[in-house]
Amino acid sequence: MMRSTFKMLFYMNGNKEKNGIVPIMGRVATNAPVVQFSYKQTISKVFWDTKNRAKEKGKEARGINLALDNIKAQIIEHYQRLSDRKGPYKIHRQHGCSGSIRAI
């Protein structure tokens, strides 16, 4: 059986900065293919920490972190369900991942 790796992180996209505000992006990597997606939320650069989360400075930051945790939990759940049924190699083939970056 092929060994599977799974990594997920959220980050700010500094290339799209406007007046110190940046979009929050997500990245999921399994074995090698990488999938990137937009969280469709923005945050001030000063409120994004080195742990790739919003700094706990109020309701908005807590709401963003809660939403990021929920998204991560859902992605992990889907990945586990697919890998239990199909195995990691078949997941990549099913979703058309060929090692290049795809947006979802």
Cα 64 to Cα 30: distance, rounded to the nearest angstrom: 25
Give the model confidence (pLDDT) of 29-55 as tens digits. Answer: 887 678 899 988 999 888 898 888 998
List the chain domain ranges. 6-98
Cα 45 to Cα 14: distance, rounded to the nearest angstrom: 8
The H or E element containing residue 26 is strand 21-30
Cα 91 to Cα 87: distance, rounded to the nearest angstrom: 7
- In contact, 73 and 65? CB cutoff 8 Å: no
Give the model confidence (pLDDT) of 1-19 as tens digits. Answer: 556 778 899 999 888 888 8
pLDDT band at 68 (very low <50, low <70, confident <90, very high): very high
pTM of the model: 0.71
Q: Which of 34, 30, 37, 59 has its CA nearest to residue 47?
A: 59
